[in-house]
Amino acid sequence: MTTDEPRIVRLHTKLVEVLGADEADTLMSLLLPGRWDAIARRNDISRPVQSQ
């Protein structure tokens, strides 16, 4: 599932309803701005680098 702008807006709206505006803004600011599959995992960085 892709995270597009309408989904983000809906999430923020729901967070405002449940948590309040300040808390929703804080939580949204802590979330990653990009895709999770673009994040390196511990396993990814522990592999030795192969020279070319």
Q: Which sequence spans correspond to the domains of the chain?
A: 1-30
- Nearest-angstrom CA–CA distance, 18 and 34: 24
- Residue 37: per-residue pLDDT: 67
Q: What secondary structure letter does DSSP report for 20? A: -
Instruction: Please write the tens of the pLDDT for every residue from 1-52.
Output: 567 788 889 999 999 999 999 999 999 998 867 666 667 777 778 777 777 6
Burial 22-47 (b: 16+ CB within 10 A, else e): eebeeeeeeeeeeeeeeeeeeeeeee
Q: Which residues contact 9 (CB under 8 A, 6 or more apart)?
A: none
Amino acid occupying residue 12: H
Q: pTM to 2 decimals?
A: 0.60
